[in-house]
Amino acid sequence: MYYFCIKLKILSMRKITLLILLFFTLKIATAQEEKFKALFLYNFTKNIEWPISGQNEFEIGIIGNSNVYDEMLTIAQKGKVGNMPLVIKKYTSIDQIQNSRIVFISSNKNGLISQAVAKFSLKPVIIVTENTGSTPDGVSIRFVMIDDKLKFEISRKHTQKNGMKVNSSLFGLGKEI
C-alpha cells in the first residue's frame, strides 16, 4: 500500500478534481447489446404496418430500467418512422401507457408482462420482451441471446392482430413461435 499512497500523492488534488470534472462532462459509452436491441426495435417499425390511428407521432414505450431507453433516445433524434417523429417514453407502470405502438418490457420488469398482455390484447400494440425463460403467450417479439449473438423470436399470431401487417421477411429472420 505504501507505493500506492506515494502514487496518489504525486497526483495533486487539483489535478484529480480537474480530471473528474473532465470525465463527467464527456459523452458516455454504451453497451453493444442494448444498442442493437434499440436498432432492432427501430427496424421493426419499418417492417410492421400499423392501422391508421390519427396520431402525428410514433411512440415507443419502455418499461423498466434499461439502457435501451438511452439508445432509443439517440435513435429518435436521428430518425423518423415514415413521416412521423419517433417519441420514446419511459413508463413505470402499464396503466400509464396510452399511445405506444411498441411496448418494450425490460427483463427487470418481467412481472408486468401479463398485465401488458391483458391490456393490449385487443389493441394494435407490439409487446417486446427480453431474457424470459420462454416467450409468454401474448408477447409479440422476444429478444434472446444465443452464443453471444442477439436473435429474436416472433409470434405470427400476436403481431398480425388488430389490423397490424407484418413484412413476411420478419418471420424468416426471427424464429417463429
Partner 1 sequence: MNTKKIFTIYLVLVLFFSIAFTNSTYSQEKIDVTKLTREQILELDYEELMMLSLEDLMKLADIAGMSTDELLQLAIVSASKKSESLFDSPLSATVLTGENIKKAGVTSIMEALRLVPGVIVREQTPGNYDIHVRGYDDLDPNGLISFTRNAITLVMINNRIVYNEFQGNTYWELLQVSVDDIDKIEVVRGPAAAMYGPNAVSGVINIITKKPNEKKGLHVSSYSQAGNYNTILGNAAVSYAMNNGFSVRVAGNYDYRKRHNIDYFILSGKKFLRNDTNKIIGTENVTFVNELTGDEINIAGGQAVDPDLNPSKATPNYKQRYPYTDLGTDRKSINTHLAFNKKDYNINLMGGYSTAMIQDAFPINNFAALSTDSMSNMFGHLWGNYKNFSFSFDHNRGDVKTLGSGSALQAEYNISNANLEYSWDVFENFNIKPGFSYRSAVFNGRILGSTQLDANYNMIERDGDQVNTLLSGYIRAEYKFNNLRLIAALRADKFQYPDKVAISPLITATYKVNKNLLTRVSYGQATRSPFMINLFTNLDMSYPIPNPAGMGIPLTYKTIYGAHYRGTEYQDKEYQLLNVQEAEIGTRYNINKWLSVDMELFWSQMKNLDVFAKVSRGVRIVPTSATTGNVYIDDTTSFVDIDIKPQQIGGTFSVFANPMKNLDIQFYITLQETEIKGYYDSTGYKSYYKGATNATIVYIGGQPAEVLDSKKDADSENTKNLTHKATPSYFGGININYRPIKKLNINVNSYFYGEQTFSIGLGNGSNAVAKVDANVIVNSTISYEFYKGMKAFINGRNLVGGNKRQFALTDKINTMILGGFNINF
User: Helix or strand or coil: residue 103?
Assistant: strand
Contact with partner 1 (CB under 8 A): which of 49, 73, 75, 124?
A: 75
Cα–Cα dist 56/148, whole Å:
38
Q: Does 132 bind partner 1 (CB under 8 A)?
A: no
Residue type, 84: M
Cell for 55? Answer: 396520431
CB of 36 to partner 1, least distance (A): 5
CA distances from 15 to 7, 8, 12, 129 (A): 13, 11, 5, 45
Contact with partner 1 (CB under 8 A): which of 46, 123, 157, 165?
A: 46
Q: Which is nearer to partner 1, 144 or 177 (CB)?
A: 144
Cα–Cα dist 33/19, whole Å:
29
Contact with partner 1 (CB under 8 A): which of 9, 10, 14, 23?
A: 23
Q: Which is nearer to partner 1, 61 or 64 (CB)?
A: 64
Closest CA to 127 of 139, 143, 109: 139
Q: Does 169 bind partner 1 (CB under 8 A)?
A: yes
Cα–Cα dist 40/71, whole Å:
11
Stretch that binds partner 1, among 44-52, 87-95, 111-119, 121-129 (CB under 8 A): 44-52
Q: Does 163 bind partner 1 (CB under 8 A)?
A: no
What are φ and ψ of residue 87, in 5° steps?
Answer: -120, 130
CB of 114 to partner 1, least distance (A): 20
Contact with partner 1 (CB under 8 A): which of 57, 145, 163, 176?
A: 145
Q: Does 47 bind partner 1 (CB under 8 A)?
A: yes
